[in-house]
């Protein structure tokens, strides 16, 4: 350490945090904020199946968790456990992450085999899932 208290060339001192609510993933909430600004949460609430259990995570929350997982570089749904252990990230997002099982169930609920049997998406018209089923 130098006489002026600096530890290196740049003018700051690294101090160990005494709290467990700091995170190295502080950029991930911007992904969720962007989704909400675009209205993805409202569309998810209107178009995706409701929670299977009363008090379960809302469809928008599960979708945000999956997108956050992808943005963090997750390879599989099980990787959400790493994000769930990050208390600083949980504090920034304002809610805990769903379990891997809840996310897998959610993905299964969103799967509609009729969409795949009825045809393939075209460049002019894509397929989307609606409450009435699969529609072009």
**Residues 6 or more apart in contact with residue 84 via CB below 8 angstroms:** 90, 96, 97, 99
pLDDT value at residue 56: 86
pLDDT value at residue 114: 66
Domain boundaries, the chain: 28-135
pLDDT value at residue 101: 94
pLDDT value at residue 74: 96
CA atoms of 58 and 68, how far apart (whole Å): 15
Indicate the pTM of the whole model.
0.72
Nearest to residue 43, comparing CAs of 67, 77, 74, 76? 67
pLDDT value at residue 126: 44
In this predicted model, what pLDDT tens digit does every residue of 17-54 receive, in sequence order? 677 778 889 899 999 999 999 999 999 988 887 887 88
Nearest to residue 32, comparing CAs of 62, 68, 70? 68
Please list the ranges in the chain whose pLDDT falls under 70: 1-15, 17, 112, 114-136
What is the sign, positive or negative, of the torsion defined by CA atoms of 40, 42, 44, 46? negative
pLDDT value at residue 10: 60
pLDDT value at residue 125: 43
Tokens at residue 38, please? 């675009």
pLDDT value at residue 19: 76
> Contact, 96 vs 103, CB < 8 A?
no
């Amino acid at each position: 350490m130098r006489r002026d208290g600096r530890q290196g060339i740049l003018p700051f001192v690294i101090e160990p945090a005494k709290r467990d609510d700091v995170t190295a993933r502080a950029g991930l909430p911007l992904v969720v904020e962007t989704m909400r600004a675009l209205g993805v949460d409202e569309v998810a609430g209107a178009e995706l199946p409701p929670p299977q259990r009363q008090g379960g995570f809302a469809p928008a929350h599960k979708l945000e968790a999956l997108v956050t997982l992808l943005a963090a570089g997750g390879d599989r749904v099980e990787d959400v456990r790493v994000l769930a252990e990050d208390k600083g990230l949980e504090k920034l997002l304002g809610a805990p992450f769903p379990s891997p099982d809840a996310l897998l169930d959610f993905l299964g609920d969103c799967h509609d085999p009729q969409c795949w049997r009825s045809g393939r998406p075209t460049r002019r018209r894509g397929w989307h899932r609606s409450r009435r089923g699969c529609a072009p």
